[in-house]
């Protein structure tokens, strides 16, 4: 059988694979006759065949197919992507916020692998790794010039397996050997304002005013449950107001955004979705388990996207919260993950768009203008845009608060530098004014 026939069969199977998980009655994409579709597919197959047989160098067939898939998705939108077999494991661990590892945040500074911070309670934390540690060897192999991706690959592994590290603590030159057993690492998506002496998060921003603070950095399967636990704790501390910080939050799971919104809204629409080939769906709040006896301020900025926009829009439309900060990113599309090759690869395909409770659009389409309807705009009088320099200071200040340090470590210039978070100050002022009016 000619090679191009084999390729044609493979391309047609790909098309069938794309339909997995789609509605049973797909809409006709265009009005082209079926024979024209065959001719179009044949162009693609013939092109691949010519490349395979005549290109100046050998080309891997799978690389060609994956490039073709990526080319198709690249013409759609930035959020429709192909997830290769090499990437599928990392993708799943990102969605679940769990993976097998030792529990550290790392960076590469001047070619040196450096610990930003251990995650509290993880094997790395218990082994005594601290911020600023240089990891010079992993399992006996040097790390000079290592990339972040390669470092992550070598540090991660099956739960229960061991990894040996050679580290140099800050302000010393002595190498220390550390053997750590990998565990299932859960990455917290719910953080506080700063750390207590025991390295756990402090979720009370102003004890005298009983104002709580919850920072959400992503929406995973466990985010709503984590927030509920914090709220139950704050409730016992007689919380009177809450700052929900969604700045720099890129989003996550739609289901998680709905669950988080439902924590604060007792009734009414949370979000609805509709696509060309998917039925309209909507989700409404449930009364049970709602926290509604205190005012809320939601902080957003231009990097708040997707699920964080669902939450901020829902709370704003139901007048459950005042939204403060900057206009959000404008990512109002829904991606379905469609498995290929029995789950060893996948498509992340945009299949629908979502609308906020008032029915307005959130997605910022290409060439959208500032005057168009997209994103979540802060409430009147509460729009505070930070300049690039001020934004960088905010990022550095928050990074400093995230780091787990030993008490004997010297404070650096970043830690002692004063920084005023204007957006957070406005949130505190808004809540204290609201609480004063309620007295």
Active-site residues: which are they? 306, 317, 331
Contact 103, 123 (CB under 8 A): yes
Query: Of 74, 78, 77, 50, nearest to 64 (Cα)?
Result: 50
CA distances from 431 to 231, 322, 406, 428 (A): 17, 9, 34, 5
Beta bridge partners of 82: 347
- In angstroms and rounded to an integer, the radius of gyration of the C-alpha atoms of the chain is 25
Long-range pairs for 314-320: beta carbons < 8 A, 24 or more residues apart:
314/261, 314/265, 314/269, 314/270, 314/271, 314/356, 314/357, 315/244, 315/261, 315/264, 315/265, 316/376, 316/379, 317/356, 317/357, 317/358, 318/265, 318/268, 318/357, 320/264, 320/265, 320/292, 320/296
CA distances from 414 to 2, 41, 88 (A): 65, 57, 37
- CA quadruple 68, 93, 103, 100: dihedral positive or negative? negative
Task: Give dist(CA 247, CA 329) in Å, integer.
Answer: 11
Backbone angles phi, psi at 215, to 5 degrees: -110, 125
| Helices of type H across 189-335 | 223-236, 254-264, 307-317
Task: Give dist(CA 128, CA 170) in Å, integer.
Answer: 13
Query: Of 284, 281, 297, nearest to 357 (Cα)?
Result: 284
Collect all residues with Cβ–Cβ distance below 8 Å to 225 and sequence separation of at least 6. none
Beta bridge partners of 137: 142, 166
Task: Give dist(CA 260, CA 264) in Å, integer.
Answer: 7
In this structure, the number of other CB atoms found within 10 A of the CB of residue 394 comes to 20
Task: Give dist(CA 69, CA 81) in Å, integer.
Answer: 9
């Amino acid at each position: 059988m000619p090679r191009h026939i084999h390729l044609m069969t493979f391309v047609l199977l790909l098309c069938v694979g794309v339909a997995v998980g789609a509605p049973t009655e797909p809409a006709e994409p265009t009005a082209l006759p079926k024979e024209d579709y065959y001719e179009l597919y044949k162009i693609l197959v013939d092109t691949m065949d010519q490349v395979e047989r005549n290109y100046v160098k050998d080309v891997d067939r799978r690389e060609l197919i994956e490039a073709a898939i990526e080319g198709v998705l690249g013409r759609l939108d930035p959020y429709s992507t192909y997830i290769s077999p090499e990437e599928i494991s990392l993708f799943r661990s990102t969605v679940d916020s769990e993976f097998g590892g030792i529990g550290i945040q790392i960076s590469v500074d001047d070619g040196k692998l450096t610990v930003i911070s251990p995650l509290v309670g993880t094997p790395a934390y218990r082994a005594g790794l601290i911020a600023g540690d240089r990891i010079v060897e992993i399992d006996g192999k040097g790390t000079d010039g290592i990339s972040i991706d390669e470092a992550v690959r070598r540090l991660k592994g099956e739960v229960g397996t061991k990894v040996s590290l050679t580290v140099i603590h800050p302000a010393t030159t002595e190498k220390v050997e550390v053997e750590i057993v990998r565990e299932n690492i859960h990455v917290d998506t719910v953080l506080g304002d700063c750390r207590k002496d025991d390295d756990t998060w402090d979720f009370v921003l102003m004890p005298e005013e009983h104002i709580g603070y919850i920072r959400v950095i992503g929406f995973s399967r466990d985010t709503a449950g984590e927030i509920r636990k914090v709220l139950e704790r704050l409730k016992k501390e007689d919380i009177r107001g809450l700052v929900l910080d969604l700045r720099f939050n890129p989003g996550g799971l739609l289901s998680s955004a709905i669950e988080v919104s439902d924590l604060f809204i007792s009734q009414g629409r949370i979000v609805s979705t509709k696509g060309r080939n998917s039925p309209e769906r909507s989700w409404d709040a449930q009364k049970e388990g709602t926290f509604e006896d205190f005012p809320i301020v939601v902080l957003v900025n231009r990097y708040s996207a997707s699920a964080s926009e669902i939450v901020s829009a829902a709370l704003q439309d139901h007048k459950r919260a005042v939204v403060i900060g900057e206009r959000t990113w404008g990512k109002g599309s829904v991606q379905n993950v469609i498995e290929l090759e029995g789950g060893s690869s996948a498509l992340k395909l945009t299949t629908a768009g979502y609308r906020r409770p008032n029915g307005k659009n959130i997605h910022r389409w290409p060439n959208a203008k500032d005057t168009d309807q997209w994103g979540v705009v802060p409430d009147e009088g509460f729009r505070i845009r930070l300049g690039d320099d001020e934004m960088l200071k905010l990022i550095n200040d928050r990074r400093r608060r995230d780091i787990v340090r030993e008490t004997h470590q010297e404070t650096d210039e970043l830690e002692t530098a004063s920084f005023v978070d204007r957006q957070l100050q406005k949130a505190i002022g808004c809540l204290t004014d609201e609480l004063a009016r309620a007295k």
